Amino acid sequence: MRRICLLAAFILILDCAHTPSSTLLAASAPSAQLISPWDAIPVSATSGPYDCAPPSLIAPDIMVTKGLNNNSLSPAVKEAAYPESSTALRDLTARTVAAADAFRDSGNRGAARCAITLLASAAADHAMAGYMASSDAAQEQSVALRSVAIAYLKVRGTGTASPDEEALIHAWFEDIAQQERAGIKDGPCPQGMCFAHGHHGIAAVLADAAVAIASNDQKLFAWSLSQYRDAVRQIDGHGMLPADTHGQYALKFNLLSAACLAQIAELGEVNGVDLYGYDKGRIGILIHTVSRGLIDPGPFLKATGSVQNIPSTIQPWEVIWASQYNRRFPDPVLAGLLQQAGPAGADMWGGEPL
């Protein structure tokens, strides 16, 4: 079993959530100029070739074929779908993230320029900012926006983008973010468990927080932080989010929410807002629960009555988001999971963390 190698470390951990230190920044409002964690880490620029193929065309409308067997879709929508939409979107994400990480690793200005070129081209095409054919399409849009917005934060300020390109990219980001916010507000609340309080809504909030920093949108950033606080308050006594705790994917859904909340907290901390300490460090309870759940998903089985559907081995996307959290709050279980997953990044989180 994937988790046996970590059980020894797990047994040594007290069965309680790790409470973040109160010594972190405790400001109640972000700084005047929003910054990202990468702004504080200078990179020595280098020259040299970087292979950057021409960007693929991505249409404004996303017609993802994955969900086209959904009977709720009209025949017209099904006929309009084309398979290259999701492929092109994932290609944009992978190439932008790879270029941004290459710049952070080597200082190659060609890599930074490649990331900007890809984003400016997509922005000019108004990519993925139109009609979403299904919930699958909306998910593709959300993951892509989150990933490329975080990647952009890694290369902004490198002098490789013109003012016009920056303005174009910012406007494109904001347009998609506004669409996502509308989706959160209009999302369902079955049995009082709102869409906004689960992984779908929280993932969109992470994207919005990154977009807000990219364009220095104070209002959007404040909204993102308020949504973070609302979500953290939903964490129950079992260390789970009720909106995510149902069916065979409860662990995965809670894990995705924890990953997004941890990254929002990082963006808040670097801007002088203590989000890790909010509500007595309640986010730590959720992170504690999902990290132990990757070793023993029993609590999620008990909570839902369903055997949890998770990969048979630890995947990078499951834990790489926790690397910065583990630096702040060292945890042998998280450290073991990170080591088992390996050093590879995950496009869905914008690539390699700090």
> Which region among 131-140, 199-208, 218-227 has the lowest average model confidence (pLDDT)?
131-140
Q: Where are the alpha helices (DSSP H) in the chain?
A: 4-12, 75-80, 84-106, 109-124, 135-155, 163-185, 199-215, 218-233, 250-270, 278-281, 283-293, 298-304, 316-319, 323-328, 332-341
Task: Verify that 70 and 147 share a domain, yes or no.
Answer: yes
C-alpha atoms less than 13 angstroms from C-alpha of 3 in its C-beta half-sphere = 16
Structural domain total, the chain: 2
Identity of the residue numbered 203: A
Q: Looking at residues 83-110, what average pLDDT do you find?
A: 90
43-76 residues labelled b (16+ CB within 10 A) or e (exposed): beeeeeebeeeebbebbebbbbbebbeeeebeee
The CATH number covering residue 287 comes to 1.50.10.100
Task: Verify that 318 and 276 share a domain, yes or no.
Answer: yes
pLDDT computed for residue 26 by the predictor = 34
Task: Verify that 50 and 4 share a domain, yes or no.
Answer: no
DSSP state of 281: H
Note down the domain range covering 78.
Answer: 43-186
Q: Looking at residues 266-291, what average pLDDT do you find?
A: 97
Q: Looking at residues 6-35, what average pLDDT do you find?
A: 48
Query: Band of the pLDDT at 145, cuts 50, 70, 90?
Result: very high
Backbone angles phi, psi at 7, to 5 degrees: -65, -35
Task: Verify that 178 and 191 share a domain, yes or no.
Answer: no
Residue 71 falls within a domain, yes or no?
Answer: yes
CA–CA gap between residue 206 and residue 287 (Å, rounded): 16
Kindly report the pTM of this predicted structure: 0.85
On the question of pLDDT at 76 being above 90, the answer is no
Residue 131 falls within a domain, yes or no?
Answer: yes
Residue 312 falls within a domain, yes or no?
Answer: yes
Residue 278 falls within a domain, yes or no?
Answer: yes
